[in-house]
Amino acid sequence: MIAHPDRDALQNEIHARPRQPLATPQRVSHIALLRPARIEDRTADDPLTRLCATAGVAPPDTRDGHCFADFGAFRLKRERHGEFDDYTVYCDGGDARTPFARPAIDALPEGWLDTLPGLLIAAVHVALLPAREMPDDLAGAAAAFGASELAGASIADGAACAFTDFRVDERGFTRVLVVDRSLSPAYAGRVVQRLIEVEVYRMMAMLAFPLARTSAAELDRLEASLGALVGRLETAPVQEEPALLGEVSRLAGTVERIAASVGFRFGAARAYHSLVRQRGTELRQQRLPGLQTLTAFLERRFDPAMAYCESVGRRVESVAERIARASALLRTRVEIERERHNQELLATMNRRARLQLHLQQTVEGLSVAAITYYGAGIVHYLFGAMKAIGWPVDPELATGLAIVPIAIAVALGVRHIREGIRRRLGGA
């Protein structure tokens, strides 16, 4: 058998992004950076490669979408996604009294974060602490976040609790506290990764929201112009049709530009929204007394934002369809007017053809008379010659009597010629 050239890569893709097992207590910091629009060479001057070289750690293969390096005091993982790169820093230990006082990201060399390419879109601190060190799940969580309104839930079928306020601290990070009741290291790694992905994918999905608001305002103006144009179609005179066609073309170009600018972003938002909901389901949340679950908190504002983006996307499609119908209606009107004009032109041509036929018939009658005249003259000369040689013929009388048969013969000859031409034209 001949193996497909991509078989190994496709098989290994399912194992390409392994979750790091985490032993409690653990501090985790995660940042997601929107990749610059154009990167000439990812291997050239790679910040992670330089960091590994400085620390004496084997550099990762920059061609891989996933790489992990252990620097002793911290561990660093990088993943490349379709639109963004993310970096996750892991540090052992944690303080139950101040879970976020020493985040894992502080273990990185000073200034290294500034060398990373891209724009920060999401940043998360996660504190994974054992339940035995927390005075009480809710009390410890409230102390960690201050007076913020918390969302929290029992997750992983009661093996842990997760709390967050979905707010950004003074350093630009959201914070998540995970209280470990009975998580295994492997399961803890998966739980932390899912919580991080909820925040990252939520922010990536929300990139469509400002674009949706801008597009909605432009669609308002577009729909107003379209309504005015459709109203003019009912009463506009024929002379205005070229201007109407130009206006329809302008509106069609505008809606196509909007569709092109929002199409990818809205499609990506739908995909990220689906991932957020999937990750929320995978957490297997159970409600804690007095708190909203993480999913319920997101449904209060995040889901409406995504629904708004969906509605704007549908509006773009609806306006495009309405413009297409208006364009078809205007084209139909132009075609009807053109057909009317063609009918008038054909009627004029028919009148001219009838006039030409009458003129032709008149000319044919005159031709028969002229040919008869010349024929009678020739016969007169013939009869004169017969009289001159002694035949008893009266040239005047004989010529007069010959006019009628000459006229009949000429008329029949002209008719025969006309019929022959008609048959040849019909056969052609």
Largest CA distance in the chain: 160
- On average, the pLDDT of the chain sits at 85
Asked if 270 and 392 sit in the same domain, the reply is: no
Radius of gyration of the chain (CA): 46
Number of domains, the chain: 3
The confidence score (pLDDT) of residue 266 equals 94
The confidence score (pLDDT) of residue 258 equals 92
319 close to 219: Cβ distance less than 8 angstroms: yes
Neighbours of 76 (CB within 10 A): 23
Chain position carrying tokens 């929002």: 262
- Tell me: the pLDDT tens digits for 394-419? 877 778 777 878 778 877 887 777 77
127 close to 178: Cβ distance less than 8 angstroms: yes
Asked if 70 and 170 sit in the same domain, the reply is: yes
Nearest to 272 by CA among 222, 218, 208: 208
Using a CB cutoff of 8 Å and minimum separation of 24, what contacts does 64-68 make?
A: 64/16, 65/16, 65/17, 66/16, 66/17, 66/18, 68/20
Task: With respect to residue 196, please indicate whether it lies within any of the assigned structural domains.
Answer: no
Task: With respect to residue 138, please indicate whether it lies within any of the assigned structural domains.
Answer: yes
Residue environment code for 257-282, b if the CB has 16+ CB neighbours within 10 A, otherwise e: ebbeebeebbebbbebbebbbebbee
- Tell me: the pLDDT tens digits for 302-355? 999 999 999 999 999 999 998 888 888 888 777 777 777 788 888 888 888 777
Asked if 401 and 282 sit in the same domain, the reply is: no
Asked if 403 and 378 sit in the same domain, the reply is: yes
The confidence score (pLDDT) of residue 424 equals 75
Peptide bond into 25 cis (omega under 30): yes
Residue environment code for 177-210, b if the CB has 16+ CB neighbours within 10 A, otherwise e: bbbbbebeeebbbbbbbbbbbbbbbbbbbbbbbe
150 close to 165: Cβ distance less than 8 angstroms: yes
Asked if 338 and 385 sit in the same domain, the reply is: no
The confidence score (pLDDT) of residue 7 equals 67
Asked if 332 and 362 sit in the same domain, the reply is: no
Asked if 241 and 176 sit in the same domain, the reply is: no
SS3 state of residue 23:
coil
The confidence score (pLDDT) of residue 37 equals 66
Query: Which residues of the chain fall short of a pLDDT of 50?
Result: 40-41, 428
Asked if 314 and 362 sit in the same domain, the reply is: no
Q: Please state, in angstroms and rounded to a whole number, the distance separating the CA atoms of residues 415 and 405.
A: 15
**pTM to 2 decimal places:** 0.76
| Last residue within a domain, chosen from 323, 343, 363 | 343
Asked if 331 and 422 sit in the same domain, the reply is: no
SS3 state of residue 151:
strand
Nearest to 412 by CA among 362, 372, 382, 376: 372
The confidence score (pLDDT) of residue 90 equals 96
The confidence score (pLDDT) of residue 42 equals 52
| Last residue within a domain, chosen from 288, 316, 343 | 343
Cα atoms in the Cβ-side hemisphere of radius 13 Å centred on 315: 20
| Last residue within a domain, chosen from 189, 221, 244 | 189
Structural domain including 58 reads 18-37+46-189
Asked if 229 and 315 sit in the same domain, the reply is: yes
307 close to 211: Cβ distance less than 8 angstroms: no
300 close to 221: Cβ distance less than 8 angstroms: no
Asked if 180 and 293 sit in the same domain, the reply is: no
